[in-house]
Amino acid sequence: MAREISPQEVQQVADMVARARAAMDEIKDYDQERVDRLVRALGWACGNEKTFVRIAQMGVDESGIGDRAGRGGKRGKVLGVLRDALRQKSVGVIETDEAKGIVKIAKPAGVIASLIPTTNPELTPPVTGLYALKAKDAVIFSPHPRSKKTTAEMVRVMRETMRQLGAPADIFQVVENPSIPLTNELMAQCDLTLATGGKPMVKAAYSSGKPAYGVGAGNSTMVIDETADIKEAAYNSRVSKTSDYGSGCSADGNLLIDDRIYDALRDALVAEGGYLCNAEEKAKLERALWDDHGHRTIDTVAVSAQRIGEIAGFKVPDDRKFIMVEHDKIGKDEKFSSEKLCVVMALFKYHGWDDALGKVKEIYKVGGTGHSCGIYSFDDDHIMSLANTAPVSRMMVRQPQSKANAGAFNNGMPMTSSLGCGVWGGNITNENVSLKHYLQTTWVSKPIPEDRPSDEWLFGEFYNTATM
């Protein structure tokens, strides 16, 4: 049980919120051009390669998880968010519908509490910051204790950027010594919470008494049917699985493969750098990844395949990039059918399309409901039937899931680092959390010619039938 918050901590939060509101007041009259200039400056300050890579590698060194060589690649997300933010209006009138007599006026959401996961201590602040600044919000970041210095450094860059352009630095603030009681108080005093992290964090956000956007757990599953380009599917699966050592909830955890192409795809995955466990290694791997209570072991999250093998008690050759296990059972007691948060991938064989859809349903009963899935197929019937069956908010077609579902330059998904999972995942939205979620909107309604259909049209065949 968390300790009680001290009066000094309550006052600390109150002081930060007061400074945030004062900063918002300073920029409340900024026009769109001035806001966009700040947004561009912030995007450059955080998203230039030198700065982002430096802080990203700092995050890996501080937390001990993630791929130091590849973490800097997340910089592309900053650029994508900047693109999306600049292409939208956020000041004054943002939409006019003459036919309906509706004018929409954008207004800030307020002071935002942003809870930062240890897997993205350098990425989440600029992503949240760009959208918040575009909306003229203020943000107080609460970092994960394991990577608090990294988040503080990125926020320092963000504050200095504002200061250099004559804007108030307190648009962005960071809790330097985070704790559960202090974070809970922050959520209670702010206007809105953005919670990106594990279930306890999201639950706390929804219990704060203030509106919150949370994200659900992932269990990314890809279906690969007989029409798939095997080489493409194997390549994309490797890219998705190995990005930042599989730290993201969108990293391919389960591949459901048509039995007619199973062997060929498995061989292609080996060619891409996959290490296929034998039965003994698989048993050791399960004991290493999950403790006696079924919880994921921290020391195996987002580390290299070699390190996982070392912990499990077998050797993974240096040229192997990810680990594969062949599995045939799905369920709460079948740990390999759950989210893995590392470079371990489970391969399942299906027999006929109905079996594929059935296995998808069973996997999402284990976990990840509402998050995402994907498919490698050129069969539109398969694509659409999976989309209609899977209880997920987003489905990627022939794309590496962890590089695509939060937005990419070659798809139309809104760029973000927060993925809502809807009612399925216990979230308020199932959309990619983006600019619209940082704004409040006033609808101005003007009278229009009456739009009232006839009773005959409204009731159709039931008009003037017997009544009760």
Active site residue ranges: 249
Classify the C-alpha dihedral 187-192-196-197 as positive or negative: positive
Question: What angle separates helix 180-189 from helix 7-27, to the nearest 10 degrees?
Answer: 40
Q: How far apart are CA 86 and CA 437, in angstroms?
A: 15
**Structure token pair of residue 90:** 């956020």
CB 394 within 8 A of CB 222: no
The residues pairing with 274 across neighbouring beta strands, listed in sequence order, are 322
- The radius of gyration computed from the CA coordinates of the chain, to the nearest angstrom, equals 24
From the centroid of its chain, how far is CA 424? 15
Q: Is 451 exposed, middle or buried (0-12, 13-18, 19+ CB in 10 A)?
A: exposed
The residues pairing with 276 across neighbouring beta strands, listed in sequence order, are 324
Q: How far apart are CA 73 and CA 95, in angstroms?
A: 35
Question: 414: which residues sit within 8 A by CB, 6+ positions away?
Answer: 84, 407, 431, 432, 434
